[in-house]
Amino acid sequence: MAISKAIMDQISLGVLLPGSKLPPHRELADQLAVSVQTVSNAYAHAEKQGAVEAWVGSGTFVRSFAQGKESEFLLTQDVKNEQSVSDVIDMSIAHPVYTNQITQLFNETLMDIAKHGDTAHLLNSARPVAGLRRHIDAAVHYLAQQKLNAEAECVLLTNGACHGLVLALGTAISSGDTVACERLVDHGLIARSKIFNFKLCGIDMDEQGIIPEALDRICKQREIKALACTPSMSNPTSAHMGMERRMAIAEVVQRHNLMLIEDDVYGALEPNRLPPISSLIPEQSFYVTSLTKTVAPGLRVGYLVVPRHLKQHAVGRLAATSWMATPLPFEIASHWIINGSVERIEAFQRQEFAARQRLAANCLSGMHFEAHPYGQHVWLTLPSEWQADNLLVAARQAGVQLTGFQPFTLDNDIRRNHVRISLGGEASRYRIKRGLQIVSDLVKSEPPPPHFLL
């Protein structure tokens, strides 16, 4: 308590300025001749008082108390990259923020598994196809945190969410069927429609995603087999359904006897998250999530919850596509779920994306865009003088990589003047701010003559 009070006193006196980094726990413990745990407790107490903020992989920093002013401590950790003007700032890919501390945790977990785990079982397992029971038990625990009470017998382990969606679609629909979806939809679903030879029917959307009345109207006009949707922070618009909207969608799905395929890879980024639609209609729903969008992109750990009566159909497709999901990533994920690491990393991601969205709001002030306060994307509407394709080229020439509207639209004849800006692909918040400023400067300026964009 004395250490915490001293920190807050120094902040009040202006000795510690907003954005200042506090000493590492061990360094301060050595200086004060106390335990590292004592310093950790002091910092934690100061954080509860709102005086400081701790960031995974970066340290503990004095908070900025100016209303609307974002602490820029992370903007200075990568200043050396300012000289690397030839480096492209990648704001084109959906990606959680990856830090050195996650690498350290990964290495420590591998050593712990090697020292104490049953490593032979991870390599010689060929059954059960659905996944090892301890990994499924960890999945059930994680799904409960996502407000979905799943039975272990209905959970399948998949090599990421993409694999889970392939299994869900392959089980729920047949060639030639029509699947309803958002009018602006993740490009992965468009690709899968070509692989499985089913038709996509785009449904009108608002800021909460699919409009229930529009879905109901389409179901009365056409034979719809399933609804594929992303209720939480959908890609690319970040449309996010409230609880009333989720209930309304569930009612339409039930009334028209559709199968729901729910992609919930971003749901864990929402503080006090809402229950998935699948929790309302479990017998008509395939629920898919993973850790690749909220923990680490290379952790290809996916969880698929299937209706009990369709489990064996889904298991057969799992065996046909990969036999079983690779056990080692699930061993790591299970360790992290049980010891709370996943929860802590996802809390960091929420905190970091909230900060990056505030940066985006400041840099893009005066422009029209759609975003969720904790989301990974910004869906930017361009002024009429700019064409999306031209902005992509101009941004690339200026050192920033963005994504246009084309991958997300079902009708290539409709020209949408939008670009998607993704905020997680760069580890440094400094580079994110720099990229946003470049985009802002471009959009506010006159487009260059076409021959300059060649």
| Number of domains present in the structure of the chain | 3
Pair (319, 208) in one structural domain: yes
pLDDT of 360 over the 80 cut: yes
Last-in-domain residue among 291, 315, 339: 339
Pair (370, 397) in one structural domain: yes
Domain range holding 288?
103-339
CATH value at residue 249: 3.40.640.10
Question: What average pLDDT does this structure show over 314-329?
Answer: 92
Residue 250 structure tokens:
């569930």
39 close to 32: Cβ distance less than 8 angstroms: yes
Pair (119, 42) in one structural domain: no
CATH value at residue 4: 1.10.10.10
Pair (331, 351) in one structural domain: no
Last-in-domain residue among 317, 339, 361: 339
pLDDT for 65 equals 44
Pair (142, 207) in one structural domain: yes
Question: What average pLDDT does this structure show over 116-140?
Answer: 86
Pair (276, 234) in one structural domain: yes
Pair (316, 334) in one structural domain: yes
Q: pLDDT digit string (tens) for 418-446?
A: 999 999 999 989 999 999 999 999 999 98
Pair (283, 314) in one structural domain: yes
180 close to 170: Cβ distance less than 8 angstroms: no
287 close to 172: Cβ distance less than 8 angstroms: no
pLDDT for 50 equals 79
Predicted TM-score (pTM) of the model is 0.80
Last-in-domain residue among 324, 339, 354: 339
Pair (139, 286) in one structural domain: yes
Pair (61, 197) in one structural domain: no
Pair (214, 198) in one structural domain: yes
Pair (160, 263) in one structural domain: yes
- Let me know if 86 is exposed, middle or buried by CB neighbors in 10 A (0-12, 13-18, 19+): exposed
pLDDT band, very low/low/confident/very high, at 183 (cuts 50, 70, 90): very high
pLDDT of 86 over the 50 cut: no
pLDDT of 303 over the 90 cut: yes
Question: What average pLDDT does this structure show over 93-119?
Answer: 89
352 to 145, 216, 349, 447: CA distances (angstroms): 20, 38, 5, 32
